[in-house]
Amino acid sequence: MNLPDYIKHLNNQGIWSFKYDEALRNVDRDLPYAIQRMRKAGRIIDPARGFYTIIPEEISLTDRMPADRFVDDLMNFHGSPYYVGLLTAAAYYGSSHQSPQVFQVMTDPHRKAINVRGGRVKFFSKKDIQDTPIRQRNTPTGTMNISTPEATLFDLIKYSRLIGGMDHVANVISEMMEHIKVSGLKEAAVMFPLPVLQRAGHVFEVIEYQSGVNMLQKLIANEKLVFTPLEASGPSIRTPKDEKWKVIVNTEIEIEY
């Protein structure tokens, strides 16, 4: 069969991506030339060498290709564990403080960011990624891995310096609170180091989330805390201090209610 027929065959089975080697076994004409024609026609893209995503007709007339349509197949192609996280995950949980042009993915090992049809997929490296609580979220082409709201919250604090700073992160978290559950916080918190939990405690105080404050206090009650800066990459100062959480408040948080 030719490449358009092969793509139609895949779509009829609910498949929206293919590998070059798979197509080579099924397409009986010049495959490189056929791929080139389909790319120019706006029917396929190649987020990775040897991996192709099929663009639905209703999207082929636009200049965008949402990453949620191919991220799961792409990461399976690479054989890498992953989950959609940080500001992208937060957007699914109610936050509006995220650019739709950047799709943030946690993975191991680190990968370079890719630009795909009007959007950008940015990868963040995380060790022991399999320990992070995740869930499956439905997408137009299947499912994708996404961190739970509570794991997203702690990731936002851990990686704050890479995604706009603690003030920005605190505002994102404040918009997610209706999705946050204490049981989920308990499950996720044990996967993060003490400095992250201390900063979370301070943020919970600022946004007046008393249930989270109480949970973290009980969790770290027997831990020996040392002072940690609220903004890991912020100015090196000694005061002011949050004595309760042993946090050096080296940046201001202003919640935009």
pLDDT (tens, 9 = 90+) of the chain, 257 residues, equals: 999 999 999 999 999 999 999 999 999 889 999 999 999 989 999 999 999 999 998 888 788 899 999 999 999 999 999 999 999 999 999 998 766 679 999 999 889 999 998 899 999 999 999 999 999 999 999 999 999 999 999 999 999 999 999 999 999 999 999 999 999 999 999 999 999 999 999 999 999 999 999 999 999 999 999 999 999 888 888 889 999 999 999 999 999 87
Beta bridge partners of 143: 138
Contacts of 49 (CB under 8 A, 6+ apart): none
Q: What is the pLDDT of residue 57?
A: 85
Task: Say if residues 206 and 226 touch (Cβ distance below 8 Å).
Answer: no
Token output for 161: 């310096």
How would DSSP label each residue in 153-205?
Answer: HHHHHHTGGGTT-HHHHHHHHHHHGGG--HHHHHHHHTTS-HHHHHHHHHHHH
Q: How far is CA 228 from CA 108, 191, 194, 222, in A?
A: 27, 18, 9, 17
At the topology level, CATH places domain 3-60 in: Arc Repressor Mutant, subunit A (1.10.10)
The burial class, CB within 10 Å (0-12 / 13-18 / 19+), for 142 is middle
- Contact (CB, 8 A) for 157 and 85: no
Buried b (16+ CB within 10 A) or exposed e, 201-225: bbbbbbbebeebbebbeebbeeeee
The reported pLDDT for the residue numbered 100 is 64
Tokens at 140, concatenated:
């137009």
Residue 125's contacts (CB-CB under 8 Å, 6 or more residues apart) are 106, 107, 108, 109, 110
pLDDT at 89 (0 to 100): 97
pLDDT per residue as tens digits for the range 178-215: 999 999 999 999 999 999 999 999 999 999 999 999 99
Q: Where are the domains of the chain?
A: 3-60, 66-147, 149-257
Tell me, what's the pLDDT at 99?
A: 65
pLDDT at position 61: 78
Residues 64, 46, 163, 235: is their CA dihedral positive or negative?
negative
The pLDDT tens digits of the residues spanning 80-94 come to: 999 999 999 999 999
Token output for 227:
């002072």
| Helix/strand/coil percent split, the chain, to 5 | 45, 20, 40
**How much is the pLDDT for 59?**
86
- What are the helix and strand counts (H, E) for the chain? 11, 12
Q: Provide the mean pLDDT of the chain.
A: 94
